[in-house]
Amino acid sequence: MEALFFNVDSGYLEGVVRGYKGGILTQSHYANLTQCETIEDFRMQLGSTDYGNFLANESLPISTSTIADKATQILVEQFHYMRSNAVEPLSKFLDYMTYAYMIDNVVLLITGTLHERDTHELLERCHPLGIFDTMPALCVATNVEELYQSVLVETPLAPYFRECLSASDLDDLNIEIIRNTLYKAYLEDFHRFCMSLGGPTADNMSRLLEFEADRRTINITINSFNTELTKEQRAKLFPAIGRLYPEGNNALAKADDIDQVRQVCDNVPEYRPFFDSAGSARSRPNGSSLVVEDDGDALAVASALEDRFFAMEVHLNKLAFLQQFQYGVFYSYIKLKEHEIRSLTWIAECIAQDARERIQDFIPIF
Amino acid sequence: MGHDGYPSLFRSEQMSLVQFFIPTEVAHDTVSELGELGDVQFKDLNPDVNPFQRSFVAEIRRVDEMSRRVRFFATQIEKEKDKIPVRPLYDSVPLVTVGPRVAQTIDELEVKLADHEHRLIQMNESYQTMSERTRELVEARHVLRETAVFFDRAQGHESEIRASLDDSSQPLLAHDDREAQFSSGAISFDLEFVAGTIDRTRLSTFERILWRVLRGNLYMNHTDIAEPFVDPVTQGETRKNVFIIFAHGEVLLAKIRKVAESMGATLYPIDPNAERRHEALKDVQGRLEDLQTVLYNTGATRREELVRIGESLSSWQDLVRKEKIIYETLNYFNYDARRKTLIAEGWCPTRDIIPIQLALRHATEESGTSVPPILQEIRTNKKPPTFHRTNKFTEGYQTIIDSYGIATYQEVNPGLFTVITFPFLFAVMFGDIGHGFIIFVAAILMILAERKMAKSDLGEIIGTFFYGRYIILLMGVFSMFTGLMYNDIFSKSLHIWRSGWDFSDPQHGTPNGHVYPFGLDPAWHGADNALVFTNSYKMKMSIIIGVIHMTFAICLQVPNHLHFKRPFNIYAEFIPQILFLQSIFGYLVVCIILKWTTDWSKAPTQPPGLLNMLIYMFLSPGYVKAEERLFAGQSILQILLLLVALVCVPWMLCVKPYMAWKEMKAHEGDGYGRLGLGDDVNGELIAEEEGEGQLVAEQMEDQEEHHDFGEVVIHQVIHTIEFCLGCISNTASYLRLWALSLAHAQLSEVLWSMTLESFLSPSGVFGFIALIIMGIVWFTLTVFILCVMEGLSAFLHALRLHWVEANGKHYEAGGYAFQPLTFANLDENA
């Protein structure tokens, strides 16, 4: 059915986003990029891709952060183009996508203020997709109540924030709790919204969002080992969606070490390999060496896990493009492009610091 | 072509693959010379090498840096409010781009550019800091003035404030203190405040946040600053507001300051004391004046610098662009083993080899060395590019064909015939002497002003018309001709010769023995059955023109088959096709002419309907009703023609595949088998899915073209079906000639009768004024609706008839265009 009417409102934008997707760098581009000797070569190499001469007017030398900024700027422009051409419900969908960045920005600002960083510097570091009008005022807040009353009450994040009001002080732990509570509420809300859209959008987005939720659940569990976070508090932070929910989440809430996490993940066939090779193998399948010192060393496992999560995310996002007439492509495009920018920055960084042996440690998309 | 030595449009230019051996020291000058000549298309000899691993990357990077600087100057000059003159290229002193001194020139230029850039950036910076400072001072002045106004007003209300203070529930003791203070006569009141400026767009958010943060415990006042602030770098305008906020308590004030800072507001310390404020204002005023003089001087020097840059900017731009192209071309070249000579390969027209050799010699002389580059022609089986040598007249017509597809190398070029057929088919639809004359005059004007217009930038729409000016010229001429044939001038008719009809009885015309010698008899104009007559006439004419056009297009296959040495195709394709077309539609044309030439008023039978005749030729072959017979023996002839057409279908379908099959058998008999290549298909598909289709395509290209028998069969089946059905639908498609011609004639008649006709016999002054106004309206509408709009529509249909109906019959269009290295249109791609 969606094929009948989808194109009336969103056909153009889907075409646009698929065209954008065609511009995502491929394996052969990366092969060329990793051979670059200097950042100038890097710029020249990017000149033949869809990035074009986005760095042409930068005077030498170019820093890697400039590259990341400029690339993000292109992404943001594309996003704004799509957002301003979108109609309901796609526009709402795109708005939902920005909430995640808003949460990140809010947390960044609060943390920064807490550690007495310069406000302007903080504002510059905020992700441009998550900027909202009253954001600068975040830095005056000293407790959660004030934060909510003075700033967040009029942002879309307000409903997510009510959960956090119980926390009174702003300290590092509480901020982390706030972030995760916000994210939980956000993911659940976004999931609900996508379900209400129905059709292939719901299918694709539930797959993506459930993975995101599981990833957060596992990360929270692993990161909360040996911290003062109680198990009840931990359980409250888990999003109530995902393939691990509810049994897996319950088990994770009680987990004490990484082995228990692995047991939980074994129940989901797709997640099984995350831990299998993370625990036993000493190198990643694509040949880069990421040495895991000790099987019980949670930190090393976690960092290997992170890479695997990224690879999985890229894979899932690629799958979203196989189906037409659904909004998942917009979400996936932005996610993939972020990966690309991350990879580009990594390569540029490796070139700049002359760390050739690590240059292959990025996740190629196509 | 080719034999007589003159270039022609009939076939594309004969091309040669040539190899150059260029000593390294003359390489630059050689490429520069060849670029000026614009006659060689260089091949990339190192396609596998990364762009940054090529030999001349360092030079390219240097040129890139120079072009970045030049671009920087250009944007700086553009941004300047008062226009800075940029001396056009043809007026500038040319920079030496060849010869032994070229390296030095470029070195000097690089230093000069860096110098200019350095100076400009420095000046920009100081200008910027100073304007920043000025802006702050201006803002401070505004804040001082506005707050002064506010304080003045507040002072007027002082008593009320005091009263309100009295009312508040303050401790009584403190109250006494205050009372004492006030009564001591000090006019200062101790409300604390923050004052500053903020971007107007952010004001409302700012106010809202403050209100929320302070829970309403503030008093805010703000006014607009009338003039905008201009950013010296981006030239963007920002509008700001002055605000002053009163609040009580250090904590709240600190909060306000923090919010204000994070919202991008600028705060200014203002003293509550009126006298000190006044002093501060004076101080600010004084500093502002000083700063403005300095600022003006800096601006003037900066402008001077820019003017100096503008003097030679365009020659720099030109040089940088040329250098970049030269080095990019040099990157295509290979080094020989000893790295003393560069080897280049490229295509050039065979007849131009001598001028190219001359250019090479010239380059050697220029560079002052004695080792000339060597040019050698090499034999190849690669497909050369297609190059049609056009002039300003034929260029437009060739573009019409090229936009359908670039001709296969040495294929018969339909562009040559388009020169006449295109304007002619257009004119059949656009037949009107008046309208034709208007577009003819327009084209003549454009051609007369050709030189001037070519130099100026015309914009996209006018530019397109200008590009097609010679097409428009011929379209106008032919439209006047067909207008004469239709006897149509602005929907009226011309009485040149004596009409063949008398109207003694106004209802019926009687023939008077005269024959109108040329075109349509004007007596038809206004007759009741005029439309019936012209419709029938134009419809049949369209069919005749269409069949002739298609026959001609099919015939163009013959020179192709002969030239490419495949005479077999003449028997397998050309002959059955032409027989098929002629036996059905050729016959129809003959019948049309027969029907026209018969005097039906004296014939024993009624004139037969030709459409039905054609239909029944298929439905009931061999039977023609006696009263509809056109000539004796018609039924026998029709059976014969039908049989011929029927035979042609299997002929077209089978002969070619059969011959291919026989050839293959012969090959296999000689012991050549096919090699299986099924293994990587899956891998390739996956790779393609992953977006690496490009690589795969390149690999496929390298394989020798593979003759698959199944492919030949399928191709032939499609081709046959397409041709047979195409014959019918294409013939019908030519009826658009009639339809558009009819629409055009009707539209112009409607326009005439609705605007001008009723005002033609004016009475009194108002009558004349109305006539003039209506005349203008009529003429404007004639030009815009009938000439431009209808003209575009007729153009479009003529285009389609050429692309689909004619080109489809013979034009392979499988070539690629010749794109020589040239400096001629640098501006467009830079």
Per-residue pLDDT of chain A (366 residues; tens, 9 = 90+): 667 888 888 889 999 999 999 889 888 888 888 888 888 888 878 887 888 777 776 766 788 888 888 899 999 999 999 999 998 889 999 999 999 999 898 888 888 877 877 777 888 888 888 888 777 777 777 777 777 777 777 788 888 887 676 666 667 777 888 888 888 999 999 999 999 988 888 989 999 999 999 998 888 888 888 787 888 888 888 888 888 888 888 888 888 888 888 888 888 888 888 776 544 443 344 433 333 344 445 566 777 788 888 888 999 999 899 988 889 999 999 999 999 999 999 898 888 888 888 888 888 887
Nearest to B751 by CA among B786, B799, B792: B786
A65 at interface of B, judged by CB pairs closer than 8 A: no
Q: What is the pLDDT of residue B180?
A: 41
The answer to whether the CB atoms of B258 and A119 lie below 8 A apart is yes
CA distance B388 to B813: 13
Which of B 422-461 lie inside 8 A of A, CB atoms?
none
pLDDT above 80 for B6: no
B263 at interface of A, judged by CB pairs closer than 8 A: yes
Residue A123 with chain B: CB contacts under 8 Å: 262
Q: Give the residues across from B267 on adjacent strands.
A: B196
pLDDT above 50 for B223: yes
Q: Which two tokens stand for residue A298?
A: 């949670």
Tell me if A177 sits within 8 A of A184, measured CB to CB: no
B49 three-class SS: coil
Least Cα separation, residue B179 to chain A (angstroms): 35
Tell me if A358 sits within 8 A of A52, measured CB to CB: no
The whole-number average pLDDT for the span B67-90 is 80
Least Cα separation, residue B792 to chain A (angstroms): 29
CA distances from A17 to A326, B431, B549, B821 (A): 12, 48, 46, 36
Mutation for B interface: A50, A122, A133, most B CBs within 10 A: A133
CA distance B156 to B166: 17
pLDDT above 90 for B232: no
Tell me if A282 sits within 8 A of A292, measured CB to CB: yes
State the pLDDT confidence band at B602, using cuts at 50, 70 and 90: confident
Cα A130–chain centre separation: 13
Give the pLDDT confidence of B442-471 residue by residue, as tens digits.
999 999 998 888 877 778 888 899 999 999
A27 at interface of B, judged by CB pairs closer than 8 A: yes
CA distance B578 to B241: 83
B688 at interface of A, judged by CB pairs closer than 8 A: no
| φ, ψ of residue B16 in degrees (nearest 5) | -125, 145
Amino acid identity, position B119: R
Q: Which two tokens stand for residue B565?
A: 């040495």
Mutation for B interface: A46, A140, A149, most B CBs within 10 A: A140
pLDDT above 90 for B14: no
Q: Which two tokens stand for residue B488?
A: 């149509």
Instruction: Tell me which of B105 and B568 has the higher pLDDT.
Output: B568
Share of chain B above pLDDT 90, in %: 26
Q: What is the pLDDT of residue B432?
A: 92
State the pLDDT confidence band at B703, using cuts at 50, 70 and 90: very low
| φ, ψ of residue B345 in degrees (nearest 5) | -125, 150
Nearest to B581 by CA among B791, B808, B255: B808
Nearest to B485 by CA among B528, B511, B524, B443: B524
B168 at interface of A, judged by CB pairs closer than 8 A: no
Q: What is the pLDDT of residue A169?
A: 66
Would you put residue B197 in left (φ > 0), alpha (ψ -120 to 50) or beta? beta
Residue A22 with chain B: CB contacts under 8 Å: 691
Query: B25-34, B68-77, B574-583 — which one is most confidently predicted on average?
Result: B574-583
Q: What is the pLDDT of residue A289?
A: 38
Q: Give the residues across from B348 on adjacent strands.
A: B16
Least Cα separation, residue A140 to chain B (angstroms): 6
Q: Which two tokens stand for residue A204?
A: 């694709």
User: Are β-strands B341-349 and B334-335 bridged in parallel, bridged antiparallel, or unpaired?
Assistant: antiparallel
Q: What is the pLDDT of residue B177?
A: 45
Tell me if B331 sits within 8 A of B56, measured CB to CB: yes
Of B52, B61, B202, the CB nearest to A45: B52
CA distance B573 to B567: 10
Residue A158 with chain B: CB contacts under 8 Å: none
**Cα-Cα-Cα-Cα dihedral sign, residues B342, B347, B353, B358:** negative
B255 at interface of A, judged by CB pairs closer than 8 A: yes
CA distances from A31 to A75, A344, A358, A362 (A): 23, 12, 14, 12
Nearest to B588 by CA among B735, B721, B485: B735
Nearest to B656 by CA among B785, B596, B568, B770: B568
Nearest to B471 by CA among B792, B789, B741, B738: B792
Share of chain B above pLDDT 70, in %: 87
Q: Which two tokens stand for residue B738?
A: 């009639």
The answer to whether the CB atoms of B692 and A27 lie below 8 A apart is yes
What lies within 8 Å, CB to CB, of B113 at 6+ separation is B66, B69, B70, B316
Cis-peptide, bond into residue A246, ω within 30° of zero:
yes
Query: B170-179, B200-209, B310-319, B379-388 — which one is most confidently predicted on average?
Result: B379-388
Residue A120 with chain B: CB contacts under 8 Å: 262
Q: Quote the DSSP letter at residue B622.
A: T
Nearest to A146 by CA among B150, B214, B825, B778: B214
Q: Which two tokens stand for residue A94?
A: 């795109």
Q: What is the pLDDT of residue A166?
A: 66
Cα B111–chain centre separation: 38
CA distance A324 to B593: 58
Cα B502–chain centre separation: 56
Tokens 């503008």 locate to B310
Q: Quote the DSSP letter at residue B521.
A: -
CA distances from B556 to B11, B806, B811 (A): 12, 10, 9
Cα B70–chain centre separation: 27
Nearest to B342 by CA among B318, B359, B326, B323: B326
Q: Give the mean pLDDT of chain B.
A: 82
Of A26, A120, A133, the CB nearest to B205: A133
A151 at interface of B, judged by CB pairs closer than 8 A: yes
ipTM of the complex: 0.72
B583 three-class SS: helix
Least Cα separation, residue B56 to chain A (angstroms): 13
Secondary structure (H, E, C), chain A: CHHHHHHHHHHHHHHHHHHHHHCCCCHHHHHHHHCCCCHHHHHHHHHCCCCCCCCCCCCCCCCHHHHHHHHHHHHHHHHHHHHHHCCCCHHHHHHHHHHHHHHHHHHHHHHHHHCCCCHHHHHHHCCHHHCCCCHHHHHHCCEHHHHHHHCHHHCCCHHHHHHHHHCCECCHHHHHHHHHHHHHHHHHHHHHHHHHHCHHHHHHHHHHHHHHHHHHHHHHHHHHCCCCCCHHHHHHHCCCCCCCCCHHHHHHHHCCCHHHHHHHHHCCHHHHHHHHHHHHCCCCCCCCCCCCCCCCCHHHHHHHHHHHHHHHHHHHHHHHCCCCCCCHHHHHHHHHHHHHHHHHHHHHHHHHHCCHHHCCCCCCCC
Tell me if A254 sits within 8 A of A221, measured CB to CB: no
A32 at interface of B, judged by CB pairs closer than 8 A: yes
What lies within 8 Å, CB to CB, of B65 at 6+ separation is A60
Write out the H or E segment, with its range, that includes residue B538: helix B530-555
Least Cα separation, residue A336 to chain B (angstroms): 14
| φ, ψ of residue B221 in degrees (nearest 5) | -135, 140
pLDDT above 50 for B220: yes
pLDDT above 90 for B733: yes
Q: Give the residues across from B492 on adjacent strands.
A: B489
Q: Which two tokens stand for residue B765?
A: 């002054």
pLDDT above 60 for B336: yes
Lowest mean pLDDT among B268-277, B340-349, B624-633: B268-277
Cβ atoms within 10 Å, residue B784? 11
Give the pLDDT confidence of B168-185 residue by residue, as tens digits.
444 444 444 444 444 433
Give the pLDDT confidence of B139-179 residue by residue, as tens digits.
888 888 877 777 777 666 655 555 444 444 444 444 444 44
